[in-house]
Amino acid sequence: MEAKSPSASRTTMTDMVLPSETNALQNLFGGELLARMDRAASIAAGRHSRRITVTASVNHVAFNLAIPLGSVVTVEAAVSRAYNTSMEVYIDVWIEDRYNGKRTKANEAIYTFVAVDETGKPTEVPELVPETPLEITRFEGALRRKQLSLVLAGKMKPDNATELKALFTK
């Protein structure tokens, strides 16, 4: 299986916020944004693995800015690390000023997807080779995030979380 770069999975979805997608304050529903991020992340994971992919977890979501009615919203997703059968997908959400074109980062999220075959059985995915400084930073942080998640879920002993422990020992 040939290794791939994050750029091979990069997925960009742009859309406008419509009235039926907003809350009483005329801002995009958080659940609507979660669904948009899930779709973009699923496409990115599928591009990396060339398999059916399923959402395993939503590891992190930051709703930093409200996204008002009428906003042009761009969701960018790319695989940030690949393991045996799973992939971490990092998602950035941008809003665009309709008058001057300036983009502002509004939100971000990290999802985990698993590649499966036609019967739903997890299947191997290609290795990921980061290229840019941002891709390398996200790649390196992914193992710490995974270990933290496993420790908190009781699926890994803290003593075995070597990458996580390295943050606290010198």
The phi and psi torsions of 105 (rounded to 5 degrees) equal: -70, 125
Residue 51 lies in a domain: yes
Residue 117 lies in a domain: yes
State which residues form the domain around 36: 4-129
> How many domains are contained in the chain?
1
Residue 43 lies in a domain: yes
Residue 134 lies in a domain: no
Residue 143 lies in a domain: no
> Model confidence over 83-123: pLDDT tens digits?
999 999 999 999 998 889 899 999 999 999 999 999 999 99
CATH number, residue 60:
3.10.129.10
Residue 169 lies in a domain: no
pLDDT higher than 90, residue 165: no
